[in-house]
């Protein structure tokens, strides 16, 4: 087959046979978020470009190299600075939506979560796509380290529910604008001395935001960064205390962590706590989850001074980890009944019975291909129907048919008129129960 159009480089299709994996992750994400009091928020796939420039940060890789601009005439208010961009992450859109919808006037803290697609123009490889998906959570209004611990606990609790093991938690504090000023100066002095060896991008970062150099993926720059001053030595009293309390809270919840002073995160808006969950077995793209506190961002986007924090995890990387570790996914639902029919009158009966059962919530299938009886039964087998039923002239005449349990081969007579739904329902539910007991 010579396809005229192929999917864009770095994107994936989710085919129906893989859907149960995504549904597992999405369902458990929603359930976990609810347990921690987070409610779902949805916001547009694209936003005005300036939202990302001002929040994610002009000097970040995401804004400088990875953003997908969208062709657009103008913005609603006519001030088209630089058009629209497909969201590269979810925090900026969440903060914008939280402000625009007045959520900060409601009971604090406000806790929201999202499951979204994100777009970054990166070099595709395993675990790195141009369209990928995130489960993210954001909390507004609390400056307490207990909030940081709660968010970390939720991320960890979610991965535990998925059955993922061997994921390490790294935490760090990158301080506040007060302590960071001194740190920036020390960092700048350190890199200034080694400037000639830095990559061109990092040379540019030296003035704008020297902390970004610590995040550079070039081996030369990260080699130089190895011995750079660490932020933890520069924290002010408030930030230091916040970090100590966070560690205490994590210990109280029995959550293991390591302090890694090299974690600075790729986005500009973070303050104080930053953290990453790193898997040991999915190769180079091993950071499953990243997050932290961003106490200045709400104000930076025109809202009231509001402490806030959040995390985001990559669903592709989560699913990859689950596959590698042989974790269980929630199995797909199976078809309850396939009704095979012979002849036109029987086919009509199949239609009306199916309608009746579907209205009661059962998954019922019948022939749509004009197949003979043998081929119909083969199809019933292929789709894994739990029960089948054959309707022909005899069954029409008797107003009833045998219900065949496809797993055990047992045949149970079932009348079409007298208590049809109730009897069918009892048989199907009874079979599900005995099947479950057999599997225990
Ligand atoms: P990385 O260092 O891997 O580039 P990042 O710091 O850019 O990650 P974040 O912006 O913190 O990532 O996004 C949170 C999570 O989203 C990451 O930990 C990862 O699981 C996932 N993620 C980020 N970019 C991609 C991508 N291009 N493809 C797939 N997943 C991604
Ligand atoms: Mg990145």
* pLDDT(260) > 80: yes
Query: Which ligand sits closest to the CA of 118?
Result: 1
Handedness of CA 203, 208, 212, 217 (dihedral sign): negative
Which is the CATH superfamily of the domain at 16-176+236-325? Bira Bifunctional Protein; Domain 2 (3.30.930.10)
Q: CA-to-CA distance for 132 and 134, rounded, in angstroms?
A: 7
Instruction: Report the separation in Å between the CA atom of 120 and the middle of ligand 2, taken as the mean of its atom positions.
Output: 8
Question: pLDDT of 131-167, one tens digit each?
Answer: 999 999 999 999 999 999 999 999 999 999 999 999 9
pLDDT-derived band at 80 (thresholds 50, 70, 90) equals low
Query: Which ligand sits closest to the CA of 314?
Result: 1
Query: Which ligand sits closest to the CA of 87?
Result: 1
Tell me which of 436 and 63 has the higher pLDDT. 63
pLDDT-derived band at 96 (thresholds 50, 70, 90) equals very high
* pLDDT(59) > 60: yes
* pLDDT(79) > 60: no
pLDDT for the residue 216: 84
For the chain, what's the residue count? 440
Q: Which two three-digit tokens encode residue 339?
A: 């009704």
* pLDDT(76) > 60: no
- CA torsion angle for 336, 342, 347, 350 (degrees, to 10)? -30
Tell me which of 78 and 273 has the higher pLDDT. 273
Considering the chain, what percentage of its residues have pLDDT values greater than 70?
Answer: 96
Number of CB atoms found within 10 A of residue 9's CB: 9
Ligand 1, atom 7, residue with closest C-alpha: 266
Question: pLDDT of 220-249, one tens digit each?
Answer: 998 999 999 999 999 999 999 999 999 999
Tell me which of 53 and 76 has the higher pLDDT. 53
Q: Where are the domains of the chain?
A: 16-176+236-325, 337-428
Instruction: Report the separation in Å between the CA atom of 290 and the middle of ligand 1, taken as the mean of its atom positions.
Output: 8
Which is the CATH superfamily of the domain at 337-428? Anticodon-binding domain (3.40.50.800)
Question: Average pLDDT for residues 329-357, to the nearest whole number?
Answer: 96
Task: Name the pTM for this structure.
Answer: 0.91
Bridge partners for 115 per DSSP: 135
Lowest mean pLDDT among 68-72, 104-108, 189-193: 68-72
Whether ligand 1 lies within 6 angstroms of the CB of 314 is answered as yes
Instruction: Report the separation in Å between the CA atom of 23 and the middle of ligand 2, taken as the mean of its atom positions.
Output: 25
Question: Average pLDDT for residues 292-301, to the nearest whole number?
Answer: 95
pLDDT-derived band at 269 (thresholds 50, 70, 90) equals confident
Whether ligand 1 lies within 6 angstroms of the CB of 290 is answered as yes
Ligand 1, atom 5, residue with closest C-alpha: 266
* pLDDT(74) > 70: no
pLDDT for the residue 128: 95
Considering the chain, what percentage of its residues have pLDDT values greater than 90?
Answer: 79
- CA torsion angle for 64, 70, 72, 76 (degrees, to 10)? -80
Whether ligand 1 lies within 6 angstroms of the CB of 134 is answered as yes
How do beta strands 337-341 and 387-391 pair?
parallel
pLDDT for the residue 18: 96
Whether ligand 1 lies within 6 angstroms of the CB of 312 is answered as yes
Ligand 1, atom 6, residue with closest C-alpha: 266
pLDDT for the residue 218: 87
Query: Which ligand sits closest to the CA of 130?
Result: 1
- Reference 40, options 50, 52, 30; nearest CA is 30
Mutate which of 214, 266, 290 to test ligand 1's pocket (most atoms within 8 Å of Cβ)?
290
pLDDT for the residue 118: 98
pLDDT-derived band at 57 (thresholds 50, 70, 90) equals confident
Instruction: Report the separation in Å between the CA atom of 288 and the middle of ligand 2, taken as the mean of its atom positions.
Output: 11
**Atom from ligand 1 closest to the CA of residue 120:** 27
Domain 16-176+236-325 identical in fold to domain 337-428: no
pLDDT for the residue 342: 97
Q: CA-to-CA distance for 162 and 302, rounded, in angstroms?
A: 38
Whether ligand 1 lies within 6 angstroms of the CB of 266 is answered as yes
Mean per-residue pLDDT over the chain, rounded = 93
pLDDT for the residue 61: 82
**Atom from ligand 1 closest to the CA of residue 215:** 2
Q: Which two three-digit tokens encode residue 49?
A: 């470009």
pLDDT for the residue 433: 78
Whether ligand 1 lies within 6 angstroms of the CB of 204 is answered as no
* pLDDT(63) > 80: yes
**Atom from ligand 1 closest to the CA of residue 61:** 7
Whether ligand 1 lies within 6 angstroms of the CB of 129 is answered as yes
pLDDT-derived band at 17 (thresholds 50, 70, 90) equals very high
Question: pLDDT of 376-414, one tens digit each?
Answer: 999 999 999 999 999 999 999 999 999 999 999 999 999
Question: Average pLDDT for residues 297-317, to the nearest whole number?
Answer: 97
Ligand 1, atom 25, residue with closest C-alpha: 128
pLDDT for the residue 437: 73
Instruction: Report the separation in Å between the CA atom of 267 and the middle of ligand 2, taken as the mean of its atom positions.
Output: 9
Ligand 1, atom 16, residue with closest C-alpha: 314
Q: Which two three-digit tokens encode residue 125?
A: 């490889």
Q: Of 190-199, 219-228, 353-362, which has the strongest mean pLDDT? A: 353-362
Instruction: Report the separation in Å between the CA atom of 291 and the middle of ligand 1, taken as the mean of its atom positions.
Output: 11
Instruction: Report the separation in Å between the CA atom of 117 and the middle of ligand 1, taken as the mean of its atom positions.
Output: 12
Instruction: Report the separation in Å between the CA atom of 409 and the middle of ligand 2, taken as the mean of its atom positions.
Output: 54
**Atom from ligand 1 closest to the CA of residue 288:** 20
Find all residues with CB under 8 Å of 274, minimum gap 6, and list them: 171, 172, 173, 174, 263, 264, 265, 290, 291, 292, 293
Find all residues with CB under 8 Å of 436, minimum gap 6, and list them: none
Question: pLDDT of 21-47, one tens digit each?
Answer: 999 999 999 999 999 999 999 999 999
């Amino acid at each position: 087959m010579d396809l005229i159009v192929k999917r864009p480089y770095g994107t994936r299709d989710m085919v129906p046979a893989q859907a149960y994996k995504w549904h597992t992750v999405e369902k458990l994400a929603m359930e976990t978020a609810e347990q921690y009091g987070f409610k779902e928020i949805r916001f547009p796939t694209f936003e005005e470009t300036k939202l990302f420039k001002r929040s994610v940060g002009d000097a970040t890789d995401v804004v400088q190299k990875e953003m997908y601009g969208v062709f657009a005439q103008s913005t609603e208010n006519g001030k088209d600075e630089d058009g629209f961009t497909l969201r590269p992450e979810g925090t900026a859109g969440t903060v914008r939506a939280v402000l625009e919808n007045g959520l900060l006037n409601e009971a604090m803290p406000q806790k929201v979560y999202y499951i979204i697609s994100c777009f970054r123009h990166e070099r595709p490889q395993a675990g790195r796509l141009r369209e990928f998906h995130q489960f993210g959570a954001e909390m507004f209004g609390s400056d307490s380290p207990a909030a940081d611990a709660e968010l970390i606990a939720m991320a960890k609790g979610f991965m535990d529910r998925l059955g993922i093991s061997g994921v390490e938690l790294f935490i760090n504090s990158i301080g506040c604008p007060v302590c960071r000023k001194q740190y920036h100066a020390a960092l700048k002095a350190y890199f200034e001395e080694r400037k000639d060896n830095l990559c061109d991008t990092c040379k540019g970062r030296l003035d704008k935001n020297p902390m970004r150099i610590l995040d550079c993926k070039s081996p030369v720059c990260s080699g130089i960064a190895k011995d750079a001053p660490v932020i933890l030595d520069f924290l002010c009293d408030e930030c230091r205390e916040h970090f100590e309390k966070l560690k205490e809270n994590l210990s109280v919840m029995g959550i293991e962590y390591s302090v890694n002073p090299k974690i600075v995160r790729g986005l500009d808006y973070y303050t104080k706590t930053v953290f990453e969950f790193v898997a040991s077995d999915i190769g180079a793209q091993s950071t499953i989850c990243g997050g932290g506190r961003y106490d200045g961002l709400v104000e930076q986007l025109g809202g009231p001074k509001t402490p806030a924090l959040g995390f985001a995890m990559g669903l592709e990387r989560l699913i990859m980890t689950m596959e590698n570790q042989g974790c269980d996914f929630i199995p797909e639902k199976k078809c309850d009944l396939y009704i095979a029919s012979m002849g036109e009158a029987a086919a009509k009966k199949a239609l009306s019975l199916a309608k009746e059962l579907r209205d009661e919530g059962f998954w019922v299938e019948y022939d749509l291909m004009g197949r003979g009886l043998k081929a119909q039964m083969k199809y019933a087998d292929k789709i894994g129907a739990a029960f089948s039923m054959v309707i022909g002239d005899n069954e029409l005449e008797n107003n009833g048919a045998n219900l065949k349990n496809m797993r055990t081969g047992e045949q149970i007579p079932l009348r079409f008129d007298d208590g049809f739904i109730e009897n069918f329902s009892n048989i199907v539910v009874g079979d599900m129960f005995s099947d479950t007991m057999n599997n225990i």
